[in-house]
Amino acid sequence: MKILEFAFIVYPSTNLERSRALYEGVLGLTPGMFMNEGGQFYVEYEIGPHTLGIGNEPFLKPSSDGAQLVLEVEDFEEAIAHLKKHQVPFTMEPFEMPICRAAIIEDPDGNRLGIHKRKQ
């Protein structure tokens, strides 16, 4: 077996409007594929060559204990200030690592997202 790439990552959501307010309104992502019918909803965001899906998948449950998507930002300080201005909850305030700066936030369902900037 040879894995070529990952196709997409999905985060579970219990409320479409609340999730879109964070992912589109605060993080500035642009929705691509969108479905909302029969009580099921799903939206995809293209981030570079990768895809993030948000939906109320029946086989997924929101959790802060699962894997986390880490987003590389252009300006770490500006990103942190922007998130705080929009009262996004932080589970880990900004911290330093030898090769990066990072912080961890939560989406409206408690799924964790990393905010990351590599040191040059």
Nearest to 68 by CA among 118, 17, 9: 9
Residue 4 in any domain: the answer is: no
Residue 80 in any domain: the answer is: yes
Residue pair 106/61 in contact by the 8 Å Cβ criterion: no
pLDDT in tens, 13-29: 999 999 999 999 999 99
Domain assignment of residue 113, given as a range: 9-118
Residue 97 in any domain: the answer is: yes
- Counting the structural domains of the chain, the total is 1
Q: Is 29 helix (H, G, I), strand (E, B) or coil?
A: coil
Nearest to 112 by CA among 1, 3, 12, 8: 12
Average pLDDT over residues 96-107: 95
- The distance of Cα 115 from the centroid of its chain, to the nearest Å, equals 9
Residue 89 in any domain: the answer is: yes
pLDDT in tens, 44-98: 999 999 999 999 988 888 888 877 899 999 999 999 999 999 999 999 999 999 9
The whole-model pTM stands at 0.86
pLDDT at residue 83, as a whole number: 98
